[in-house]
Amino acid sequence: MALLPDWKLVVKKAWSVRFMALAAVLSGLESVAAIAGDSIAKQFPAGLYAAVVGVITALALVARILAQNEAKDDQE
């Protein structure tokens, strides 16, 4: 495993990174709320919060394999 030569640009521009960051934040919020004694998931219908996090993670996987032209545009 090795870093991409343009990893800073990828982190800044790639949608897959954005979706994974959002999923991480939402998962972190759920963990913090559970530790604090109240669950964020209880504020939504059963399973909705987990479904939203799952969809965002799936979008990240799809975005990872799709061509992302935003980074290419910045390199030219």
Question: pLDDT tens digit string along 18-45?
Answer: 999 999 998 888 788 777 766 666 777 7
Read off the amino acid at residue 26.
L
35's tokens: 């530790």
64's tokens: 């990872």
Tell me how far apart the alpha carbons of residues 12 and 46 are, in angstroms, rounded to a whole number: 34
Instruction: Record the pTM.
Output: 0.68
Query: What pLDDT shows up at residue 13?
Result: 86
Give the pLDDT mean for 4-18.
87
Tell me how far apart the alpha carbons of residues 32 and 37 are, in angstroms, rounded to a whole number: 9
Cα radius of gyration rounded to whole Å, the chain:
16
Looking at the predicted structure, is the pLDDT value of residue 68 above 80? no
Read off the amino acid at residue 47.
G
